[in-house]
């Protein structure tokens, strides 16, 4: 009676959550912890969006919406793609979900058969391969080093595509590396996947948090690509759990049926909050926050190499730095655990993101204010100096 299904035994725990739990326990004992581990910036949801949700709830708009979301929000998103990316979208192709995880859940259920393969970069966000496994498919990890920005390339697709591979999933900007695929990169990937008669899924969850170029969408160069996105990151709605997918119109009835059965509908208050995300007031707040994240990024890019961390590829977006810590450790999990216990600074070990060079990499999330980043760097510097003296 206590045996778990085999698929659940093959899904690794997310180590960062254990680190977060330990950090919170330490905080409960009065320890001053600096959180650089979890991908959640210290900004609250913009006030115009909070007010929109409150107004809707006070007006009694608290019941279920259609399974694929409010038509008005799907239309608003289509307008957003047109205005910001010059992409014409039929709103019916936009499927609203409980977070981007809900979108990936629907896509995995709808498109992956048992033993299908999902081609992924290693390092990459671990839950992507775990979603595939839940539906008896498999993540097919391709080692991707800094020379290719830790990203899958068209050449990788052509080399590693297998008879059972169904789709390739890439992220731009990426977690944990923050690297961005250019329009040319995305076009090459799309062509390579078409040659295999497969599907290209693109995670654009961190779209909008770009520091070296204007945000863009794969849909500008590959209208047949599948997009996953979220209101969590750029829009600051992590706890509201609202995301979306852009899919071929022919897939929508299947996704609608699955959504009805799996979660009925996305959260209603979150959808009304999201309707206010595109107003000039909200967008001004969001852009100000992006600029602040850019300052934090610049500070760490200068400070971390002085501590002994190598950053072979600077992040173009998101709010992460994926650092080579091979000069400091050969076991990233132990390194992060000891750092937390000794200094109160919480990082994410590379082992959370795959196997390739995972034991010598760590992820810094610049999700807290600059003064706290400076304090974290000072603590790490002192700790490393003590270790060297031993």
Which residue, among 121, 125, 101, has the nearest Cα to 16 in the 3D structure? Answer: 125
Q: Are 346 and 23 in contact, with CB atoms under 8 Å apart? A: yes
Last residue of a domain, one of 250, 278, 306: 278
Query: Domains in the chain: how many in total?
Result: 2
- The answer as to whether 205 is a domain residue is yes
320 and 301 belong to one structural domain? yes
Pairing of the two strands 165-171 and 138-143: unpaired
Q: Which residues contact 290 (CB under 8 A, 6 or more apart)?
A: 208, 209, 210, 234
The residue written with tokens 């959260």 in the block is 267
182 and 266 belong to one structural domain? yes
Task: Supply the CATH number for residue 312's domain.
Answer: 3.90.1150.10
Q: Are 228 and 201 in contact, with CB atoms under 8 Å apart? A: yes
CA-CA distance, 49 to 164, in Å (whole number)?
Answer: 44
Last residue of a domain, one of 278, 301, 325: 278
- The answer as to whether 390 is a domain residue is no
- pLDDT by residue for the chain (390 residues), tens only, comes to 567 777 777 777 677 888 889 999 999 999 999 999 988 999 999 999 999 999 999 999 999 999 999 999 999 999 999 999 999 999 999 999 999 999 999 999 999 999 999 999 999 998 899 999 999 999 999 999 999 999 999 999 999 999 999 999 999 999 999 999 999 999 999 999 999 999 999 999 999 999 999 999 999 999 999 999 999 999 999 999 999 999 999 999 999 999 999 999 999 999 999 999 999 999 999 999 999 999 999 999 999 999 999 999 999 999 999 999 999 999 999 999 999 999 999 999 999 999 999 999 999 999 999 999 999 999 999 999 998 887
The residue written with tokens 């009676």 in the block is 1
Residue 132, both tokens: 């595939």
Angle at 85 between CA 287 and CA 107, to 5 degrees: 100
* DSSP 8-class letter at 385: H
224 and 243 belong to one structural domain? yes
Containing structural domain, residue 345: 4-42+280-381
Q: What is the pLDDT of residue 389?
A: 81
265 and 344 belong to one structural domain? no
CA-CA distance, 122 to 124, in Å (whole number)?
Answer: 5
315 and 337 belong to one structural domain? yes
Last residue of a domain, one of 249, 278, 307: 278
Which residue, among 278, 267, 250, 216, has the nearest Cα to 90 in the 3D structure? Answer: 250
- The answer as to whether 52 is a domain residue is no
**Cis peptide bond upstream of 123, omega within 30:** yes
205 and 324 belong to one structural domain? no
> The pTM is what?
0.96
CA-CA distance, 276 to 139, in Å (whole number)?
Answer: 37
107 and 191 belong to one structural domain? yes
């Amino acid at each position: 009676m206590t045996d778990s299904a085999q698929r659940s035994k093959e899904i690794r725990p997310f180590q960062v959550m254990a680190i977060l739990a330990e950090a919170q326990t330490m905080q409960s004992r009065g320890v001053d912890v600096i959180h650089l581990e979890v991908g959640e910036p210290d900004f609250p949801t913009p006030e115009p969006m909070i007010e929109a949700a409150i107004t809707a709830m006070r007006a009694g708009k608290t019941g279920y919406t259609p399974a694929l979301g409010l038509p008005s929000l799907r239309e608003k998103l289509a307008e957003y793609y047109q205005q910001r990316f010059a992409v014409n979208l039929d709103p019916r192709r936009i499927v609203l979900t409980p977070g981007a995880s809900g979108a990936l859940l629907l896509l995995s259920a709808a498109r992956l058969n048992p033993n299908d393969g999902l081609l992924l970069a290693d390092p990459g966000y671990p839950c992507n391969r775990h979603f595939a496994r839940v539906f008896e498919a498999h993540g097919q990890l391709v080692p991707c080093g800094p020379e290719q920005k830790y990203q899958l390339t068209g050449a990788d697709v052509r080399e590693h595509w297998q008879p059972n591979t169904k789709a390739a999933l890439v992220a731009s900007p990426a977690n944990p590396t923050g690297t961005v695929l250019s329009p040319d990169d995305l076009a090459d990937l799309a062509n390579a996947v078409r040659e295999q008669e497969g599907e290209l899924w693109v995670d654009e969850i961190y779209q909008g948090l770009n520091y070296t170029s204007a945000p863009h969408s794969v849909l500008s160069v590959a209208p047949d690509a599948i997009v996953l996105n979220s209101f969590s990151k750029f829009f600051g709605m992590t706890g509201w759990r609202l995301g979306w997918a852009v899919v071929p119109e022919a897939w929508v009835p299947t996704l609608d049926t699955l959504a009805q059965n799996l979660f009925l509908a996305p959260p209603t208050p979150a959808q009304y909050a999201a309707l206010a995300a595109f107003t000039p007031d909200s967008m001004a707040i969001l852009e100000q926050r992006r600029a602040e994240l850019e300052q934090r990024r610049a500070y760490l890019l200068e400070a971390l190499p002085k501590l002994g961390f190598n950053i072979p590829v600077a992040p173009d977006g998101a709010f992460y730095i994926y650092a080579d810590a091979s000069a400091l450790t050969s076991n990233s999990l132990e390194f992060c655990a000891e750092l937390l216990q000794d200094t109160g600074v919480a990082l994410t070990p590379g082992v959370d993101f795959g196997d390739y060079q995972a034991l010598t990499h760590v992820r810094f999330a610049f999700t807290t204010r600059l003064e706290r980043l400076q304090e974290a760097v000072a603590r790490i510097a002192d700790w490393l100096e003590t270790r060297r003296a031993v």
